[in-house]
Structure 1
Amino acid sequence: MVEKQPEPAPAMDPRELSRTLVDITTRSQELVNEFVTREQSAHHIDLDDALHMSGLFQQLASRMVSNPMQLAQSQIAFWQDYAQLVNNTTMRFLGQNRESVIDPERGDKRFSHDAWEDSPIFDFIKQSYLLAADYVHSTVRNVEGLDEQTARKVDFHTRQFVDALSPTNFVATNPEVLEKTVETGGQNLLRGLRNLLDDLAAGEGRLRVSMTDTEAFEVGHNLAITPGKVVFQNDLIQLIQYTPTTDTVYKRPLLFVPPWINKYYILDLQPRNSMIKYMVDQGHTVFVISWKNPTSDYADKTFADYMVEGPLAALDAIEQATGETDVNCVGYCLGGTLMGATLAYMAANNDARIKSITFFTAMLDFSEPGELEIFIDEEQLRNLERRMGSQGFLEGRAMATTMATLRANDLIWSFFINNYLKGDDPFPFDLLYWNQDCTNMPARMHTFYLRNMYQENRLREPGGIELDGVPIDLGKVDIPSCFVSAREDHIAPWKTCYQGVHLIGGRPRFILGGSGHIAGIINPPSREKYGYWVGDNTPGTAAEWLDSAEWAPGSWWPEWEQWLAGQASAKVAARQPGAGALPVIEDAPGAYVREHA
């Protein structure tokens, strides 16, 4: 039998190749010219960032040379492991199997292609990288004499550098990319270059890596489509009331206060994973705040303005819409921090309209705020304030980029490989579309938030913060509360969120879901994923709570909804948006959520 020969790679028409290269060259030159022109005015900010990082590594270098013996020992250990790797690889070429000197960490998806194990060459490249990465990380982490904050910053920036140098990020050392290059005759690289230029154009000269197919989704068409009406608006919010799907509803309405750092429709992506739809279907009269996407005109909006024009204005509107003064409330992330401050302000003013509060991945104590802390020292805050002062707000893309760097391999490099090296279009994914739909933050409000919460941790202190002239104290809040966190959350670490149960009064409850900051919350029952821990007792530490908590499979939504139903009072006839004293302004999702940064 004659062995079938592989089909040759498709050849590109030379004329088409020529046109493609001319187009790429022309677009590249235009982008470079636009970028240089625009960056001239912002050069001092980039220089400040570079000087800050340079200073960090100068401190590291001086500490390393002060202890040459420790550095030498690390180098000796590295070369011993490397010599073992060379020997193992030689034996593999001779047909003998050898145990790996080092393996990727569990959950590292970069080396999932079979060639990283099956090919001695690629296995050698993989282990060489992992050994070098481990050597660099361990050397940096074991340097003595650095203060804790500087050590964390150096470790973070070192990780960014090491991740960028992964062999998976280069054509010649990524077997999956090499296979595709052979299969397509190199057309994947041309497509990837075009994708790169498209992303540079979308980012106005700065690389904005596409995470999903942005043409696949439209807010109000296949995202944020739970039926409802905008019944109130002011400078900062639109308030949406959702159409009931049950004949009767709980008497006490439910208000969601999402973070203004992102758009509210993370709670209403699509019907299959919409928390808003789920709660409507359980018989709750649901309201949600949709925040304005601020421009430079909002530069002087304060944190207190966000309280007064946000949840406090929403409570007034809900009373007009339903006739009810008592409300259950949910605060998500920054929205939860705002609601903690708002509840303390209301307690100081004897305002008892909120009868229960749920915090989703929200911090009230910022003593251990996670990796975001490395961006919030005095030097970086001053730099950020200069940047916001020049335009009146922090652009949403800057914050989105910062968040992505916390998980660079998953949120940057995986898309770099897919889009630019493999030349594939990004996969349509509703959550990632939402993640790229950025919002800006007013300068004055954002400065207050970063300094008073992250840098000085004043919210937890009685009287540490004044809002609208009123000193606030979380300890004066005395209502039932439920804290929901996610075990793998890198933005609001669950153990830090847990500390909030000891800052407010009432009867606290804590639920810990699986996964991270978003997937851990948007985890509908239909998925049957992750599982969760729940416990009514709230001992002194998060570790003690976890030891006594009970684990359950699936989504925590029904568990929480059952608790919330106990706070919702009797049932009444279903309420239609616009039937009360507030007329309908427009259909949900409203105009504010459609505004782009």
Structure 2
Amino acid sequence: MMTQQGDFPEVHFPDAAAMSEAFGHIAEHGGHILAEAVNNAASHASAAPADPLHIADVAMAAARTVMANPFRLASAQTDLWFDCAKLWRNAARRAMGATPLPVILPDQGDRRFSNPDWTEVLALDSVKQMYLLWSRFLTQVIGDADNLEPHMAHKVQFHTRQMIDAAAPTNNPLTNPEVLRATLESGGLNLVKGLRHLMEDMDRGHGKISPRMTDFDAFKVGQNIATTPGKVVYQNELMQLVQYTPTTATVSKRPLLIVPPWINKFYILDLREKNSFIKWAVDQGHTVFVISWINPDERHAAKTFENYMLEGPLDALARIEKATGETSVNAIGYCLGGTLLASTLAYLSVKDGGKDKDRIASATFFTTMTDFSDVGEMSVFIDEEQIAGIEASMAEKGYLDGSAMAASFNMLRANDLIWSFVVNNYLLGKDPHAFDLLYWNSDNTRMPAAMHSFYLRNMYLNNLLAKPDALTLAGEKIDLRRIETPSFFLSAREDHIAPWKSTYAATQTFAGPVKFVLSASGHIAGVINPPSANKYCYWTGADLPAEPDGWLAAAQRAEGSWWPEWNRWVGERSDGEVPARQPGAGGLPALEEAPGSYVARRAG
């Protein structure tokens, strides 16, 4: 630890051999990047917009909102001046041995300033507090951007926070105490290694910077991740159907079908044995089938949301009947997979007079949006201009590159998912840790152009799924109000992708019986919370008032995982027991071992 009394680490000279090796790698990857840039420039001019997020428009709007309220600007400037003067006086007093209270403190839970040097070293403490004061000043000056229309106001606030996060002194090698220590102790080798990592990432990203979040070589799908035993028993152009090997002598008569999102890969539900929802469900006596979506390419450009319904859950229902003889299933949809499941239920309720609506006997929705009127911070990426830019980009290849979607999600938690890795990989020169969740998060999937355009415009932009008969799928106008299927909704209180108060809207829409459960934590940890971990908590409530806050006020809190609560609920809808079913032994032959080849296909 560095202190203001001069307890600095010993300075070391650079290791010549290590430096030479690092610079060799830098030159190699730099050559690749330059050659690719030249080839791309020579081959074609990109149709994608130069400013896909329309930051120039956001900057102009920010300037307008500042100038529109000079009194707020003057007040914020006065507050900043007095706070800075107090900070300078405190610094002088500390230099003379006093211990004044800080002018400003980081928010509780802000891990960027957890190193004790940020408090104990006078210069660093002053830099930290000055940054926090300027951050507060910018936030106050922008205010609620009340002179702008709500969507632009939200974009201004969001991108202001992105700028504030980027400017943090923790991201600067001259002011981050951990980086300063590493630089002195290694003779600067950490920065050279960091440059090597940067060039490797740019080479891997075809000129774009995408910090590695984990050790990509530490995991291999089907070997030490996604290892629950089973077989692929069917496949079509969009999906493979995986049936898992039972671990109990008898199983529930009604099979369980899981419909995961295709924005990410299904093995978030099967990371390791200790946190695998799929393995746990198998152990509870369910015959588990999972849809494994293909990672699409230009051949799938014309595949629509409708195709995902017809070739996904509807095709799976027919194949499960052939494999087990059962005409109905309990179904789970996760995130976008849940949106597809809700659409499928609405479609079945009207197709041929609803004769097949009981093919899905119960539906469970994990962090699922059906009403997109309030999508939280995701809305900053959704407007006509940005969607048009995305469509122009997709028109070139026939799909949206997975890295583009990942970058948007990462911006929602920039300090955790961007800047922490910039510091670790590029400033400290460290290799990222091997972490199964971050490996999955980095295993990007593409979006077919037709499907993604339909999804963005009809769900996010125009919210047609929530409007009666406004959306047509496979020739049928669908209405969520016709869904009579018993439904279990699981939402997460800190979800930044599917805000729980928005997911709650389905409780007021579906016609059938609904159970709503709220988990602690976020979009992933709130779902992947095995009972053995004994973490977090959840809330349940029998009444479903119109307002979500009213539901939470009356809800009962329970400690631990919600998984057993769901299993009791779905167990009441499992139609008895039968001898365990082996994959491949029924009407569908085994094609390959789980998790199958579709999920193993990586983008790029």
With structure 2 as the length reference, what TM-score do the two structures score? 0.95
C-alpha deviation, 1:6, in angstroms: 9.4
Q: How many Å separate the matches in 2 of 1:141 and 1:456?
A: 28
Where 1:533 maps in the other structure, the secondary structure is: strand
C-alpha deviation, 1:454, in angstroms: 0.5
Q: How many Å separate the matches in 1 of 2:113 and 2:34?
A: 34
- Of the candidates 435, 446, 453, which is equivalent to residue 447 of structure 1? 453
Deviates more, 1:371-380 or 1:22-31: 22-31
Deviations 1:202-231 (A, max 9, x none): 111111110001110000000110000001
Q: Show the counterpart of 1:45.
A: 48
Q: Show the counterpart of 1:224.
A: 226
Deviations 1:456-509 (A, max 9, x none): 111111101000110011111102111001111000000000111111111101
Structure 2 counterparts to residues 248-287 of structure 1, below 5 A: 248-287=250-289
Residues 199/461 of structure 1: CA separation in 2 closer, same or farther (3 Å cut): same
Q: Show the counterpart of 2:3.
A: none
Where 1:485 maps in the other structure, the secondary structure is: strand
Deviates more, 1:350-359 or 1:70-79: 70-79
Residue pair 1:525, 1:554 contacting (<8 A) in 2 also: yes
Residues 7/477 of structure 1: CA separation in 2 closer, same or farther (3 Å cut): closer
Q: Show the counterpart of 2:212.
A: 210
Q: How many Å separate the matches in 2 of 1:158 and 1:425?
A: 30
Residue pair 1:508, 1:536 contacting (<8 A) in 2 also: no
Q: Show the counterpart of 2:37.
A: 35
How many equivalent pairs are there? 592
Q: Show the counterpart of 1:424.
A: 430
C-alpha deviation, 1:90, in angstroms: 1.2
Residue pair 1:35, 1:206 contacting (<8 A) in 2 also: no
Counterpart amino acid of 1:437?
D
Q: Root-mean-square deviation (CA), in Å?
A: 1.6
Q: Show the counterpart of 2:319.
A: 317
**What are structure 1's unaligned runs of at least 5 residues?**
none
With structure 1 as the length reference, what TM-score do the two structures score? 0.97
1:436 aligns with 2:442: yes
Residue pair 2:146, 2:153 contacting (<8 A) in 1 also: no
Counterpart amino acid of 1:575?
R
Counterpart amino acid of 1:258?
P
Residues 180/321 of structure 1: CA separation in 2 closer, same or farther (3 Å cut): same
Deviations 1:559-581 (A, max 9, x none): 11111111112011101111111
Residues 574/30 of structure 1: CA separation in 2 closer, same or farther (3 Å cut): closer
C-alpha deviation, 1:180, in angstroms: 1.4
C-alpha deviation, 1:24, in angstroms: 2.4
Structure 2 counterparts to residues 20-419 of structure 1, below 5 A: 20-38=22-40, 41=44, 43=46, 45-49=48-52, 52-349=54-351, 350=354, 351=356, 352-419=358-425
Deviations 1:525-568 (A, max 9, x none): 11111111111221111101101111111111111111111111
Residue pair 2:192, 2:429 contacting (<8 A) in 1 also: yes
C-alpha deviation, 1:35, in angstroms: 2.9
Counterpart amino acid of 1:209?
P
Deviations 1:133-179 (A, max 9, x none): 11111211244311110010111111111111100001110001111
- Of the candidates 568, 592, 599, which is equivalent to residue 593 of structure 1? 599
Where 1:381 maps in the other structure, the secondary structure is: helix
Residue pair 2:9, 2:184 contacting (<8 A) in 1 also: no
Q: How many Å separate the matches in 2 of 1:437 and 1:354?
A: 31
C-alpha deviation, 1:371, in angstroms: 0.9
C-alpha deviation, 1:124, in angstroms: 0.5
Identity of aligned residues (%): 51
1:566 aligns with 2:569: no
Residues 9/551 of structure 1: CA separation in 2 closer, same or farther (3 Å cut): same
Where 1:532 maps in the other structure, the secondary structure is: strand
Counterpart amino acid of 1:521?
V
1:490 aligns with 2:496: yes
Residues 571/19 of structure 1: CA separation in 2 closer, same or farther (3 Å cut): closer
C-alpha deviation, 1:13, in angstroms: 4.2
Where 2:82 maps in the other structure, the secondary structure is: helix
Q: How many Å separate the matches in 2 of 1:42 and 1:419?
A: 32
Residue pair 1:60, 1:146 contacting (<8 A) in 2 also: no
1:500 aligns with 2:503: no
Where 1:357 maps in the other structure, the secondary structure is: strand
C-alpha deviation, 1:259, in angstroms: 0.1
Q: How many Å separate the matches in 1 of 2:315 and 2:261?
A: 16
Q: How many Å separate the matches in 2 of 1:54 and 1:6?
A: 44
